[in-house]
Structure 1
Amino acid sequence: MRAELEAHGHEVVSISHRADGSADLAVDLCDREAVRSALSNIRVDAVIHLAAIAFVAHGDVEQMYRVNIVGTRNLLEALSSGSQPPRVVLLASSANIYGNSDSEVIDESVQAKPANDYAVSKLAMEYMAKTWMDRLPIVIARPFNYTGVGQSKQFVIPKIVDHYVRRQPVVELGNIDVIRDFQDVRDVVSTYRKLIELAPVGATFNLCSGIGHSLGDVLQMLAERVGYRIKVDVNPQFVRSNEVVRLVGDSSKVNALIGSASRRTLSETLGWMVKQAAPSGVASE
C-alpha cells in the first residue's frame, strides 16, 4: 500500500501493532488512549484503515471482535477528536459479509448473510462506523478475496503456491470446489488509492473482478505453470460446516467511479507469486 501511495505523490505515515520497524508508529488499536495520543501528533488528509484480524479461521474469536470492531471505533474516535478531521477515511470491510447469497454475482444491494464470526465482526464494524458518519467523511470498501506476493501462508493460495514451489507431492486442503473472486493485491491497493483521492463520502463499494475460480482451477493453473500435478488430501479439519460456497462480486459501482481499467488475471497473479518464491530451476512460465 505504501509503495502505491508514494508512487503517486502521497506522503505516508504507517501505523502497525508491531514495533519491528515495518511501520512508522507502533500502536495497539485496542488501547484507546494510545490511539488517541498517537494521532494527536499527526495531521492527516486521508486514512486507509486496513488493520484487522482477517483470517476467517482465527482461533481467538474474542480477539477478532475486539480488534475488528472496538479497535476501529477507537480509531474513529481519535480521528474525530482532532482539531481538523481528515478529508476522507476509507474503512476496509469484507465481501464475507454477504455469506451464502442467492445471487450468482453480488452487488452492494445484496442482503448481508454473514456465515462466520469474521464476517459478523466486519458487518458489525460497518454498522458501528455508520454512527460516526455525521462526524467523519467515511467510505466503506468490501474487498473480495485477493492474494499476491507477501501474503501469509496461512491463507490458501500462498499455501498452495509454496507447496508447488517446494515441489511437495501432497497438499492438505479443505473443500476445493468453493468458488471465489480472486484479485491481485496490486489492483486492490490501486483501487484504495483512487478511492481516497476521489473521496466518495458515505458510499460503499465492492472491490472485485467479477470472475469466479474454484481452488481446483488454482491447482490446475499452477500445475500447468510449474510442470507437475500435486496430490490433494482433503483434511476434514479444514472443511467448515458453514462454508460460503460461492462468492463472486459485481464491480459496476466502483468501475463507474474510477473507471474499468484492465486488471491482472488470476493466472498472472499466480505467475508473479511463483516467480518471486521459486528457487532457480523451477519454472514460472
Structure 2
Amino acid sequence: MASPSKKAAPRALITGARGFTGHYLSETLRQAGVGVMGASVHPDVDAADDIPLDVTDLEQCRRVIDEQRPDYIAHLAAISYVAHADELAFYRVNVLGTLNLLQACADVGHEPAKILIASSANVYGNACEGVIEESQQPQPVNHYAASKVAMEYMVRTWFDRLPIIVTRPFNYTGVGQPEHFLVPKIVSHFKRGERSIELGNLDVTRDFSDVRTVASIYAALLDGPACGETVNVCSGEPFSLRDIIAVVERLAGYSIEVHVNPAFVRPNEVRMLVGATRKLESLVPGLERPAFEETLRWMYAG
C-alpha cells in the first residue's frame, strides 16, 4: 500500500517583493513554510522564484495568476514616496494596478485563500489629532493618499467576490529602508559621524513600527480568518522627530546640529498620525513588538 502523499506547501505571490516591505514579508513567510513567488517590474533574473509582473498591464496579471494559482496574494506594489514627481503614476499603479490584479483573479477563475492589499495611514490626512480609529473618515492631503483612498473604495466593491483584507500601515522602518525616508536619513547621518543634518518640520509626530513586526502582522492576516476588513497596522505610540534624534544621539554618543530647510517643509504636512491598535490586536492576538528604541539600535548597528 502506497504511503499517503504529503500536502503541498502553500504558496504566496507577493507583488513588490523586491521592495523594503516585500523583502521582510518574503523571509517571514518562508520561515513559516510558505513558498514565496516574488513579482516585480524588474525581477532578479538569477532568482528562480522571481516573476516579471507590471500590475498596470491586465494581460500580464491574468497570465501570472493563471500560471501560478497562488494560495495567498500580498499586494505591496505601489508608488509609495509621497514626493514622487509623476502624479499620474500614483493612480496608474496604486488604483488601476490593484484593480488589474483583482480582475485577473476573476477572469481566470482563481480565488486565493486570502488577498492582502496594503493601503496607507496617509489616507487620514490631517483629519484629527490623537489616536485614529479605522472608522475615521479619510481626508487625503496629497496625491499618494488620494490614490490610496480611491483604491480602497474600488477594492470594497470586490469584498463580496474575493477574500480581501486591507491594511493601513502607519510609519514603519528598519534596516534596508532607503535613505530618502526620514528615520534612515537620521540614522545614516550619525553612522557616518556627521555633525549636522538638514530636516523639514521638526514638530511632526508619527506612529512608528518595526518592519519585522509589520511583516509578522501581514503573515498572520494572510493566514487568519478575517476578510472584508480594513485594519490599522500601527504601534499606538507617538514619536516626534525630536524624540528620534534624541535616541540616536544617545546611541551614537554625540549631539547633532539640526537645520530646518524650508524646501523640506511640505505646506500640507500631516502634523500627527497615531493609530488605534484595538482592531489589529483583535485580529492578531498576542502580537509582540520591539520597543522603537530597539528598532533604532538595530538600524544604527546594521
TM-score normalised to the size of structure 1? Answer: 0.94
Aligned letter for 1:247?
L
Of 11, 17, 29 in structure 2, the residue corresponding to residue 5 of structure 1 is 29
Match of 2:57 in 1: 31
| Shift in Å, 1:191 | 0.3
| 3-state SS of 2:259 partner | strand
**89-98 or 230-239: which moved more?**
230-239
Q: How many pairs align? A: 276
Contact 2:76–2:117 (CA under 8 A) maintained in structure 1: yes
Higher alpha-carbon deviation: 255-264 or 141-150: 255-264
Deviations, residues 95-129 of structure 1 (Å, cap 9, x unaligned): 11011122410111111111111111111100111
| Alignment deviations for residues 66-106 of structure 1 (CA, whole Å, 9 cap, x no partner) | 11111111111112222331111110000110111224101
Q: Cα offset for 1:20?
A: 3.1
Aligned residues of 1:15 and 1:24 also touching (Cα < 8 A) = yes
Equivalent residue runs for 1:165-244 within 5 Å:
165-244=191-270
Matched, 1:111 2:137: yes
Q: Deviations over 1:141-170 (max 9, x none)?
A: 111000001111111111111111001122
Task: Note the 1:6-21 alignment, pairs <5 A.
Answer: 6-21=30-45
Whole-Å separation in 1 of the counterparts to 2:27 and 2:291: 21
CA distance in 2, matches of 1:153, 1:250: 28
Match of 1:54 in 2: 80
Secondary structure at the counterpart of residue 228 of structure 2: coil
CA distance in structure 2 between the partners assigned to 1:45 and 1:262 by the alignment: 26
* The one of 67, 84, 88 aligned to 2:93: 67
Aligned residue type for 1:153: E
Letter matched to residue 10 of structure 1: V
**Which amino acid is the alignment partner of residue 59 of structure 1?**
A
Question: 1:161–1:222: 8 Å Cα contact kept in structure 2?
Answer: yes
Unpaired stretches in structure 2, ≥5 consecutive residues: 1-24
CA distance in 2, matches of 1:82, 1:46: 15
Moved more, 78-87 or 242-251: 78-87
Equivalent residue runs for 1:81-160 within 5 Å: 81-160=107-186
State the 1:35 CA deviation.
1.7
Query: Structure 1 residues 195-204 or 183-192, which shifts more?
Result: 195-204
Indicate if the aligned counterparts of 1:29 and 1:74 stay in contact, CA closer than 8 A: yes
Distance 1:260-1:114 versus aligned 2 partners, 3 A rule? farther
Cα deviation code 1:259-284 (max 9, x no counterpart) = 142311111001001111xxxxxxxx
d(CA) in 1 for partners of 2:300 and 2:112? 39
How far does the alpha carbon of each residue in 1:244-272 deviate from its partner, in whole angstroms, 9 at most, with x for none? 00000011011012114231111100100
Percent sequence identity is: 47
Distance in 2 separating the partners of 1:225 and 1:258: 32
1:259-270 pair list within 5 angstroms? 259-270=285-296
Distance in 1, matches of 2:155 and 2:225, equals 16
Could you tell me how far apart the structure 2 residues matched to 1:43 and 1:77 are? 14
Q: Which SS does the other structure have where 2:132 is aligned?
A: coil
Q: Which shifted more, 139-148 or 76-85?
A: 76-85
Distance 1:75 1:261 in 2: 30
